[in-house]
């Protein structure tokens, strides 16, 4: 038996010193997270020289309803063990509303479940979730009042609003695009988002969430919306990227995606 070949089949190769491995857990119908995040990290690489690779596990979910969201949450541990086989440095659980629909502060338990599964599989990793990343990033920015755009039906948008408000952040206004087919969410035109955001009640808001969903494409519109609205603009994907960089100990240096990822955090509101 060829010992070297056997080792190659059972042990992931160690990443080079200037490379970080990012694990993603995404809904099976997600088509956006695995395009927007690599593009954001490509810009980070361009600015810093550090390289990032992506490794995904998929959990079945086609329609954005409470039953399928709950089923996806139940698959988190198995997905975490699977993606940790690649010896990733950080794992991002990328389905915001699946976690938020489980109740207040549910991201804490979800992130712990994923961390435990990876560690028990012999490959411990830092963990974030798009739900946790969004509320923690808003808190770090000092945002007390926000407005947001979601692709969800109104009832799920209210679930997201309640979750954010449970973290001490007032949701002044929201827009629901009422798309429940996750593939169709991924086909929405991001160029429409700045115009939609312009219609939000933004009086006294500290930030706008342009896409409170990792499946709704938004990267192409973040900088435009921020320039037009005059307040910080983030998305679920932007917040997840920010927390991945923090977990890796890397300073954000990403162009064209708003002030947060450019490394210019907004001071806390007094």
The residues annotated as belonging to the active site are 95, 213
152 is in an annotated binding site: yes
Structure tokens at 20: 């970080």
Q: How far, in Å, CA of 179 to CA of 120, rounded? A: 38
30 is in an annotated binding site: yes
Q: How far, in Å, CA of 60 to CA of 75, rounded? A: 8
96 is in an annotated binding site: yes
214 is in an annotated binding site: yes
Q: How far, in Å, CA of 30 to CA of 91, rounded? A: 16
CB contact burial 131-156 (16+ within 10 A = b; e otherwise): bbbbbbbbebbebbbbbbbbbbbeeb
* 20 secondary structure, DSSP code: E
134 is in an annotated binding site: no
200 is in an annotated binding site: no
CB contact burial 231-266 (16+ within 10 A = b; e otherwise): bbbbbbbbbbbbbbbbbeeeebbbeebbbbbbeeee
Residue 234: phi and psi, rounded to 5, are -130, 170
Annotated binding residues for substrate: 30, 95-97, 152, 182, 214-215
Annotated binding residues: 30, 95-97, 152, 182, 214-215
């Amino acid at each position: 038996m060829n010992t070297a070949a056997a080792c190659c089949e059972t042990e992931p190769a160690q990443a080079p010193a200037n490379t970080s491995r990012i694990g993603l857990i995404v809904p099976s119908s997600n088509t956006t997270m695995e395009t927007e995040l690599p593009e954001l990290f490509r810009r980070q690489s361009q600015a810093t020289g550090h390289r990032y690779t992506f490794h995904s596990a998929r959990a079945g979910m086609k329609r954005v309803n409470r039953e399928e969201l709950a089923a996806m949450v139940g698959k988190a541990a198995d997905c975490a063990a699977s993606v940790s086989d690649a010896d990733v440095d950080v794992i991002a659980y990328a389905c915001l509303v699946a976690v938020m629909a489980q109740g207040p502060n549910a991201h804490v338990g979800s992130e712990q479940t994923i961390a435990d599964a990876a560690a028990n599989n012999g490959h411990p990793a830092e963990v974030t979730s798009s739900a946790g990343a969004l509320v923690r990033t808003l808190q770090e920015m000092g945002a007390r009042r926000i407005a947001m755009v979601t692709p969800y039906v109104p009832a799920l948008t209210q679930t997201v609003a309640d979750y954010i408000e449970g973290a001490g952040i007032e949701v002044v206004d929201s827009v629901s695009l009422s798309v429940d087919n996750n593939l169709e969410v991924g086909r929405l035109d991001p160029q429409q988002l700045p115009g939609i955001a312009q219609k939000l009640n933004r009086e006294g808001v500290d930030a706008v969430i342009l896409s409170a969903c990792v499946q709704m494409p938004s990267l192409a519109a973040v900088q435009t919306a921020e320039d037009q609205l005059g307040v910080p603009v983030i998305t679920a994907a932007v917040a997840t990227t920010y927390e991945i960089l923090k977990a890796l100990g890397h300073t954000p240096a990403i162009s064209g995606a708003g002030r947060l990822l450019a490394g210019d955090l907004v001071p806390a509101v007094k």
